[in-house]
Homo-oligomer: A and B are copies of this chain.
Amino acid sequence: MAEINVGIIGFGTVGAGTVEVLLQNKEIIGKRAGGNVKIKRIADLDLESDRGIPVDREILTTEAMDVINDPDVHIIVELIGGLGAAKDYILKAMEKGKHVVTANKALLAECGEELHKAADKYRVNLAFEASVGGGIPVIRALREGLSANNVLSIMGILNGTSNYILSGMTEKDLSYEDAVREAIRLGYAEDPPTLDVDGTDAAHKLAILVSIAYGAPVNFAKIYRQGVSELKPEDVRFAREFGYCIKLLAITRNLGERIEARVHPTMVSLNHIMANVKGAYNAVYLEGDFVGPNLYYGLGAGRRPTGSAVVSDIIDLSRKLIEGDHAPLLPFAPANTKREEIQIQPIDELESAYYFRFSALDRPGVLSKIAGILGAHQISISSVIQKGRQVRGSVPVVMLTHEARESNVLKALSLIDGLDVLTDKTMMIRVGEGKGHSNEDEEQ
């Protein structure tokens, strides 16, 4: 079985997330890469801190050059960040013919052109999915998924820290200062969160998106930047009165000969889907001349989402190295694996909450009969609406249930629909489940 050796420089938050993904999902990563992806070496100045991940101490080194010079390492992953040593390490790795994966948005924004030229010169790839939008694969969307389009505009919520702060000001009526303190306390902001709240971080990410969208270098210094620190709670309240919320947006628009590129607090209509991007989430809303408007949304930072993005690049490069020219596109299932059919759970074994609308005659005791049958089938009711209004000659009785088993629901409804006080077949609608869904307890 083919083996790809990865060398990681930087074992901080993102480095630890990357290692965690590679170890925990080793099996599927191997299938998708077409061979074993192995962590050969990790360099960090701090070899003592416990990252909560089992790593063989022998692969650790304090010398980044040990990793770069290791002849067995195929892919270098630069995760130390910043504009200094990181650039040297990337250039040296390329010089040695190694592909590079990085999450370094500052470096890409300010020296991207130099890195690109080096990659071109040494015929290696520079992959940087993790540099914008954390785990959201927006770089791939722009580079590949929308490659047939002229990009007309991009609006991004690219800094989770400032979005978290603005959400606190909007939803909890906090002052800017209190919202910052809360963000720091809960780990959504560094102390002080300078580059996040002054727009620099979002502008770095915008520079990267702009370069891809328009296929040319951009002068980072010319991107207009304004942060969120001067906003007052009354601005947030007045915005709401006008039907808006305030977001730190990174915006570019294609004007033909030139472009707009700017980061500043912006009023966003409450009707716009971007107004629903709350807390530490990031989103990119863009428009292409053929695709129309597109939105990409997810967690914009954090060890696990960013690790997910870094490893997606490692998998892509590994496939190229292993399969070469004719590397099939990633699955429809990995070709070289036993492809057993996926087993689907029959619908009557589903566990879900349910909505029922019973069409009943307006007589005493109807509700108790219905509730009795439901209870006998382990279906418990969470809310009921019964109003006097007649709909097509009967009174609707409407219920939401707690989680129940579909087979029990079907049995109960069949008994209920046989009652002589029911005038029509009961309408049953499943209630969406899963994390991220609210249920009725969270409503008002």
Contacts and interface: CB of A to CB of B under 8 A. Distances in A.
Interface stretch (A64-72, A191-199, A339-347): A339-347
A52 interface: no
Contacts of A222: 344
- Among A25, A305, A329, A431, chain B packs the most CB atoms within 10 A around the CB of A329
A268 interface: yes
Interface string A293-306: 11111110010110
A145 B249 CA distance: 24
Nearest to A138: B145
For the complex formed by this chain, how many copies does it contain in all? 2
A120 B347 contact: no
A150 interface: yes
A265 interface: yes
Contacts of A239: 355, 429
A355 B238 contact: yes
Interface in A208-263: 210-212, 214-219, 222-224, 230-232, 234-235, 238-239, 241-244, 246-247, 249, 251, 253, 255, 257-262
Interface stretch (A26-34, A75-83, A175-183, A371-379): A26-34
Contacts of A257: 343
Nearest to A398: B238
Nearest to A425: B230
A137 interface: yes
A201 interface: no
A341 B239 CA distance: 37
Nearest to A287: B435
Interface string A320-355: 100011101111111101011111110100100001
A194 to B, nearest CB: 21
A14 to B, nearest CB: 12
Contacts of A267: 355, 429-432
Shortest 6 CB-CB contacts between residues of A and residues of B: A137-B145, A243-B443, A148-B311, A269-B438, A135-B291, A258-B343
Contact of A219 (B251, B283, B308, B341): B341
B333 A116 contact: yes
A344 B219 contact: yes
User: Which of A123, A143, A155 counts the most chain B CB atoms within 10 A?
Assistant: A143
A149 to B, nearest CB: 6
Given A155-B432, A246-B429, A292 B298 contact: yes
A68 to B, nearest CB: 20
B28 A150 contact: yes
Given A140-B141, A312-B144, A355-B242, A434 B155 contact: yes
Given A261-B344, A330-B144, A443 B294 contact: no
A140 B269 CA distance: 30
A331 B238 contact: no
A416 B47 CA distance: 58
A112 interface: yes
Contacts of A232: 357, 427
Given A21-B290, A212-B331, A234-B396, 10 more contacts: A25-B150, A29-B147, A146-B312, A148-B311, A231-B429, A241-B385, A269-B437, A269-B438, A293-B299, A296-B296
